[in-house]
C-alpha cells in the first residue's frame, strides 16, 4: 500500500497528464497512471480524437502500457490512479486487469457537467439486452459453440 504522500503524488501525476495532453489537443481532459511497488509502470491519457480510437481512454491506455512493460496480461499487485471516475468500459478494463485498487479524482457528475456523461451508459449496461437502445440479436450460436467446445478441450491454453 502506498503512503498518503505517495497517493497524492500519483494522483497529481494523473491530473498533470490530463492537463498537459488536453492542452496539446490530443483528446479529452483525462489522465491515469498504474503503480506497482511505489513506481509508476504505466501512464495514459485520453487519445480518442488524436489516434482515431474510441477505446483510447486514459485508463485503457495506462493499463496497456503497464501490461506491455511488465510483460503480463494481469496487473495484480498494482493500483490505478485516474483523474476521473471511470466510464463502464474502463471500469471493466480495471476489473479484467485484476488491479488491486482504483483511485479517482473528478467524479462522474463532474464529467457530466462538461458534457462527458457516462450515466446513460451505466444505465444501458444494467438493462437486459432486449431493452437496450443498441439493437442486438443472436445468430449462428451452434457454429460459434463449436469453437467454445474446442477451447474447453484445448490442452495448451493459457487460462485467465
Shortest reach from residue 55's CB to Zn ion, in Å: 8
- Distance (Å, whole) CA 69 – CA 52: 23
Q: Which of 5, 59, 79, 124 is catalytic?
A: 59
Task: Tell me which residue of 97, 28, 89, 47 sits closest to 80, measured CA to CA.
Answer: 97
* Interface pattern 66-95 for Zn ion (x via CB under 5 A): ---------------------x-xx-----
- Find out whether 89 and 57 touch, Cβ atoms under 8 Å: yes
User: Within a 13 Å sphere around the CA of 13, how many CA atoms are in the beta-carbon half?
Assistant: 19
Please report, for residues 39, 135, 136, the alpha-carbon distance to residue 119 in angstroms, rounded to integers and kept in the order given. Answer: 33, 19, 21
- Is 32 one of the binding residues for Zn ion (CB under 5 A)? no
- 9 vs 102, which CB is nearer to Zn ion? 102
Q: Who contacts 40 (Cβ-Cβ below 8 Å, separation ≥6)?
A: 10, 13, 33, 34
Assess whether 59 carries a catalytic annotation: yes
- 6 vs 109, which CB is nearer to Zn ion? 109
Applying CB under 5 A, among 11, 57, 61, 97 the residue interacting with Zn ion is 57
Shortest reach from residue 29's CB to Zn ion, in Å: 13
- 1 vs 134, which CB is nearer to Zn ion? 134
Shortest reach from residue 23's CB to Zn ion, in Å: 20
Q: Which region, left, alpha or beta, applies to residue 82 given φ > 0 means left and ψ of -120 to 50 means alpha? A: beta
Residues forming the site for Zn ion (CB under 5 A): 57, 87, 89-90
Active site residues: 59
Amino acid at each position: 500500500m502506498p503512503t498518503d504522500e505517495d497517493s497524492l503524488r500519483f494522483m497529481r501525476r494523473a491530473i498533470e497528464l490530463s492537463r498537459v495532453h488536453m492542452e496539446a489537443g490530443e483528446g479529452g481532459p483525462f489522465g491515469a497512471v498504474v503503480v506497482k511497488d511505489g513506481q509508476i509502470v504505466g501512464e495514459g491519457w485520453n487519445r480518442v480524437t488524436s489516434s482515431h480510437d474510441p477505446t483510447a481512454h486514459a485508463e485503457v491506455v495506462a493499463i496497456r502500457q503497464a501490461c506491455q512493460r511488465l510483460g503480463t496480461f494481469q496487473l495484480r499487485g498494482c493500483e490505478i490512479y485516474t483523474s476521473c471516475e471511470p466510464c463502464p468500459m474502463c471500469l471493466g478494463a480495471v476489473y479484467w486487469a485484476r488491479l488491486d485498487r482504483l483511485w479517482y479524482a473528478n467524479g462522474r457528475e463532474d464529467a457530466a457537467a462538461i458534457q462527458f456523461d457516462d450515466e446513460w451508459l451505466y444505465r444501458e449496461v444494467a438493462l437486459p439486452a432486449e431493452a437496450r437502445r443498441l439493437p442486438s440479436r443472436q445468430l449462428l450460436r451452434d457454429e460459434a459453440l463449436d469453437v467454445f467446445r474446442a477451447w474447453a478441450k484445448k490442452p495448451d491454453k493459457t487460462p485467465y
